[in-house]
Amino acid sequence: MVKVLGLDCSGASCSAAVLAAGELRAQRFAAMEHGQAEALMPMIQAVLAEAALGAAQLDLIAVTVGPGSFTGVRTGLAAARGLGLATGRPVMGVTSFAAVAEAVRVEAGGRPLIIALESKRQELFLQRVGPEGVGEGALVPPEAWRDVVAATAFLAGDGALRLAAALDRPKADILSAAPIDAAHVARLAALRWRAGLELPAPRPLYLRAPDTTVAQTPPPA
């Protein structure tokens, strides 16, 4: 009975979930642009208590690694790595793209899927998933969206509504525009664990440079 704690705060939300024996035992989710660092640990404590599990009883901890908010990605990774270090449990990285794909896997069937994630800029993070496999994720400017998105593709992710509007696509092509939920992160990790596959390392996937300003060194007097 694999027991997984899933975490996400890579976008405009924060969530934690516990999956055990293929069933969702506990879940917390809140939409938020800021404050994930303060919200995540109480969520983790709440879902573990509801699932009647101690952190050391987990088999696996899974966390989204981006792309998304730099602060959110760092917050989730720090929490997951800290728990992993304290308990000796392995920590698996799940891309934000993969978490969205898992959420709509059944609905997509064999039709191509474009996952669109908000970047808080004009660009969107886009990745194509199709029968031929999974494409490379990229930060794509609006003028290139039409070249990337096939006319037959479904859309999913928190950037799907903006992408559909820009390309005059019907809402029926949008499988989901909901934020990432940690329940899907946990489910994807459990599937990989049960299949005996290698667990991806929890390394951040940013796909762009951070929004930081480097202080200028004053000239010598």
Residue 179 — φ and ψ, nearest 5°?
A: -65, 165
Q: Where are the domains of the chain?
A: 3-96+180-194, 107-176
d(CA 115, CA 105): 12
Tens of pLDDT, residue by residue, the chain (221 residues): 899 999 999 999 999 999 999 999 999 999 999 999 999 999 999 999 999 999 999 999 999 999 999 999 999 999 999 999 999 999 999 999 999 999 998 787 778 999 999 999 999 999 999 888 888 999 999 999 999 998 889 999 999 999 999 999 999 999 999 999 999 999 999 999 999 999 999 999 999 755 544 444 444 44
Q: How would you label 107-125 residue by residue, b for 16+ Cβ within 10 Å and e otherwise?
A: ebeeebbbbbbbbeeebbb
The confidence score (pLDDT) of residue 133 equals 82
Give the per-residue pLDDT at 108: 75
CATH 3.40.50.800 at 3-96+180-194, yes or no: no
Residue 209 pLDDT: 56
Q: Taking the CB of residue 210, how many other CB atoms lie within 10 A of it?
A: 8
Q: What is the pLDDT of residue 211?
A: 52
